[in-house]
């Protein structure tokens, strides 16, 4: 077979088709494994933001996701006797470079933030990405909700130098998440 333009195009189409088939064969198992890993990450993060809970009961809404599963609005954290010890929630807010998704925890009386984990972000490395570092996240451990503001605004949260927008994003995401849960739970 000579390398005529037609032969080259046929070879390229055949190679592209083969690559597409191989990609499709690896996509499905990879997606299943990704879901398992995401569920495990969420379980660990839930325990980190609400350590007093022995189990987490998902609270769902009327809407469903792309797989037909009900969308989880938040989680009720319960102790070993089934008593509610707090709530954990996801919230997404726009940051300096893109969306920031956090998982936050609050006590059952909505008086204290029990923790915060950043689930995903696209903030600037070395600046806004510091919202994932223990030094920043530790400020939210057992923080009274009344103090959930930046220190320059009278709160107890120190902003990351050079990344005030990212710091504000986390604080706002926690406030919104707490308000959303409180609106349902009362």
- Considering the domain boundaries, does residue 123 fall inside one? yes
- Considering the domain boundaries, does residue 144 fall inside one? yes
CB 112 within 8 A of CB 145: yes
- Considering the domain boundaries, does residue 13 fall inside one? no
- Considering the domain boundaries, does residue 174 fall inside one? yes
- Considering the domain boundaries, does residue 7 fall inside one? no
* pLDDT tens readout for residues 85-123: 999 999 999 999 999 999 999 999 999 999 999 999 999
- Considering the domain boundaries, does residue 33 fall inside one? no
Total of domains in the chain: 1
Does position 1 have pLDDT exceeding 80, yes or no?
no
Domain holding 92, by residue range, is 50-185
- Considering the domain boundaries, does residue 16 fall inside one? no
- Considering the domain boundaries, does residue 111 fall inside one? yes
Residues 6+ apart with CB under 8 A from 137: 115, 116, 117, 118, 131
pTM here is 0.80
């Amino acid at each position: 077979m000579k390398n005529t333009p037609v032969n080259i195009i046929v070879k390229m189409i055949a190679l592209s088709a083969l690559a597409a088939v191989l990609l499709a064969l690896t996509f499905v198992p990879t997606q299943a494994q990704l879901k398992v890993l995401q569920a495990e990450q969420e379980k660990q993060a839930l325990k980190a933001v609400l350590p007093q809970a022995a189990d987490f009961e998902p609270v769902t809404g009327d809407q469903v996701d792309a797989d037909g599963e009900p969308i989880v609005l938040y989680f009720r954290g319960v102790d070993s006797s089934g008593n509610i010890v707090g709530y954990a929630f996801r919230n997404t807010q726009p940051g300096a470079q893109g969306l920031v998704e956090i998982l936050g925890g609050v006590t059952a009386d909505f008086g204290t933030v029990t923790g915060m984990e950043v689930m995903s972000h696209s903030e600037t490395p070395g600046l806004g990405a510091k919202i994932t570092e223990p030094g920043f996240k530790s400020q939210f451990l057992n923080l009274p909700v009344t103090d959930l503001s930046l220190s320059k605004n009278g709160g107890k949260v120190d902003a990351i130098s050079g990344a005030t927008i990212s710091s504000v994003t986390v604080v706002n995401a926690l406030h919104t998440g707490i308000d959303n849960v409180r609106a349902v739970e009362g």
